[in-house]
Chains A and B, each alone.
Chain A
Amino acid sequence: MSTDTAIEARHVVKAFGQGDGAVRALDDVSVEIRKGEFFTLLGPSGCGKTTLLRLIAGFEMPTDGTILLDGADITYLPPNQRPVNTVFQSYALFPHLTVAQNIAFGLQMLGKPAAEVKARTEKMIALVQLDAMAGRKTSQLSGGQQQRVALARALAPQPKVLLLDEPLSALDYKLRKEMQIELKRLQLETGITFVFVTHDQEEALTMSDRVGVMSSGKLQQVGSPREIYTAPRNRFVASFIGETNFLPATVVPGGVRLGCGAMVEMSGLAGSGPTTLTIRPEQVRLADAAEPGAIAAQVSNLVYFGTDTHCYLSLADGAEVIARLQSPSNGEVGLQKGQSVALRFVPGAAQVLAD
């Protein structure tokens, strides 16, 4: 492990229950989270992302495996001895304390001198722009303000890693957008490693330096948002992040052959035999039938989405491809249902999936 690793999970297993009824919430998960990065754990509910977060926080102990923080084994350390703080989904603000007292809590528990606690609390209140609210009880705040208090409270002790458990899920759409920008700003200003858990792929793509996609207790792929989107490793990642087309295909020399008989040129493919080709709808273009690589298709449906129009295209073997076409200014893409057209894939955009 390199010195710029903040958190490392090694072969972590977490099973709930005993014997045959045991459920593996985490199944041999290994991941390295770098210092100062905004790392997102993305996956559907029940995929184990929150469990991994709780193991890093120390709220639960793994069944097997090791968790390291700055190279030191923290697997079985109680939460109060880990320099890691959490922003809870429910915020978990102390209702009997004021905003300032909530934010000061961690610093007081660390035994910091009163003057330092006060100065640091004031700084954090200013950082999340709650100066006017410092003396209020948290129940008197709006959802967005409570969110800010939860953030300030977790950031105040200057943790090595900040864990965020779906912190934006309780906010309405507009506020969520604002908080996304706010979170990114706070992460850049403080330089603290953020580990963010979400089921919202848009949140993951827009905020993260790297994303870990999880499903069924396993880490499916780790990479930058761009890598995850453009080069998904498997069918789950491809379908969970954004929309995509899946086409049955066969690997042949020089590319793959689709079910309809059309050849898609690709290089560097290993092996041969049946596989699945994936192509994003925005990488499918209409083409001239005479163009090399053009595939004959028939328009089966058109759905207008404002800026885009989704064009459902049937290939000769019945396989369906969705093309996302930019809507012209008058909103008419100039196609009719049943019309025969040709399509092509943007070169290099099609991917062959491992499974």
Chain B
Amino acid sequence: MADRNFSASHLPGFTQIALLVFALLYLPIAVLVVYSFNAGTTSGLWEGFSFRWYGTAWQNDAVQSATLRSLGIAVSASIIATFCATLAALGTTRRKSFRGQTFIYVMINQPLMVPEIVTAVALLIFFASIKVATGYQGLGYLIAAHSAFCIPFAYLPIRARLEGMDLSLETAAADLYATPWMTFRRVTLPLLAPGIIAGAMLAFVISLDDVVITEFVKSGGQDTLPTYMMGQLRRVMTPEVNAISSVLLALTVLLLTAFFLLTRKND
């Protein structure tokens, strides 16, 4: 076999290792989904097929309010984060390079690098003082925190799309009498749209399953779906948690598939 035709699939044990990795990745999830259909009351002992726990979860007031809260926060946070990320991406790609550009880039992506627990503790202390000062106890803190850590996830696909865009298109629009605003609206924005939507969906998914920061920042009675589920684990664990997880999983797979299709198209 020639060197230039090197292929990892020819290494000894490749197939076995690949199968093992996939099993480790997907078997636990498969078990979780299977037991969400368990008719019994435990997540370990199969007693027959049933939609019982989906029904239980659906009618559970705590689950309902946590789901609505999660969706509300995720929608708000992904919109805010995507808006900020779009401006940040335009600001870091559509101008001459400037001193400290790398620094700004690192600053924008800070939530990807700083340990989440550090951010969580910092926000807890910071928001506590604001709560004392203003008396405001609402969901605003959670939305603000989620928006902040979602920004880099929205920023990266938008920036990638902007960098891949032919700059002469914007020059051509200006040449054809488009004002800077019209150039943005009629050329840059439509071409950027798949990146913006992809960024928003990624931000939505990231917000939806956050536990650490949410757990620290939330006030009493502000459980999101993930923090509610974590709370349930401390008590008796029923397949209800499996059912909720399966629904979350389905939603995530759906969004990530859409994300994949959007970023692949037009390339």
Contacts and interface: CB of A to CB of B under 8 A. Distances in A.
Contacts of B166: 90, 92
A85 B176 contact: yes
Interface string A70-95: 00000000111100111010101111
Contact of A105 (B168, B176, B179, B190): B176
B22 interface: no
Given A80-B174, A92-B171, 17 more contacts: A59-B174, A79-B175, A80-B176, A80-B179, A88-B168, A88-B171, A90-B166, A92-B166, A92-B169, A94-B172, A95-B266, A96-B191, A105-B173, A105-B178, A106-B177, A109-B177, A109-B182
A157 B168 contact: no
Contacts of A57: 175
Interface in A106-121: 106, 109-110
B187 interface: yes
B80 to A, nearest CB: 26
Interface residues on A, range: 20 to 34
Contact of A96 (B172, B175, B178, B190): B190
Given A59-B171, A92-B166, A92-B169, A109 B178 contact: yes
A153 B176 contact: yes
B172 A80 contact: no
Nearest to A156: B176
A94 B187 contact: yes
16 contacts: A59-B171, A78-B174, A79-B175, A80-B176, A80-B179, A84-B175, A85-B176, A88-B171, A92-B168, A92-B169, A93-B172, A94-B187, A105-B176, A109-B176, A109-B177, A109-B178
Contacts of B266: 95
Nearest to A86: B175
B264 to A, nearest CB: 15
A96 B173 CA distance: 13
Q: Does more than half of chain B's interface fall in helix, strand or loop, or is it mixed?
A: helix
Contact of B174 (A79, A90, A110, A153): A79
A84 B175 CA distance: 7
Nearest to B168: A92
Contacts of A59: 171, 174-175
Nearest to B191: A96
A80 B177 contact: yes
Contacts of A58: 174-175
Interface residues of B, number: 18
Interface string B143-171: 00000000000000000000000101101
B193 to A, nearest CB: 9
B172 A157 contact: no
Interface string B233-245: 0000000000000
Given A94-B187, A95-B191, A96-B191, A88 B172 contact: yes
Given A105-B176, A106-B177, A109-B182, A79 B171 contact: yes
Contacts of B186: 105
A86 B169 CA distance: 12
Interface string B39-76: 00000000000000000000000000000000000000
Nearest to A139: B266
Contacts of A106: 176-177
B175 A80 contact: yes
B169 A80 contact: no
A78 B191 CA distance: 23
Interface string B177-198: 1110010001100110000000
A157 B176 contact: yes
A94 B169 contact: yes
Interface string A127-167: 00000000000000000000000000110010000000000
Contacts of B174: 58-59, 78-80
Q: What 9 pairs between A and B have smallest CB-CB spacing?
A: A106-B176, A109-B177, A92-B172, A92-B168, A79-B174, A109-B178, A96-B190, A86-B175, A80-B177
Contact of B175 (A85, A94, A95, A110): A85
A92 B168 CA distance: 6
Contacts of A94: 169, 172-173, 187
A90 B174 CA distance: 16
B218 to A, nearest CB: 42
A238 to B, nearest CB: 35
Contacts of A80: 174-179
A154 B171 CA distance: 13
A92 B191 CA distance: 13
Nearest to B190: A96
A199 B186 CA distance: 34
A209 B113 CA distance: 63
A110 B176 CA distance: 8
Nearest to A57: B175
Given A90-B166, A95-B266, A110 B177 contact: yes
A8 B253 CA distance: 62
B126 to A, nearest CB: 43
Contacts of B191: 95-96
A54 to B, nearest CB: 9
A149 B166 CA distance: 17
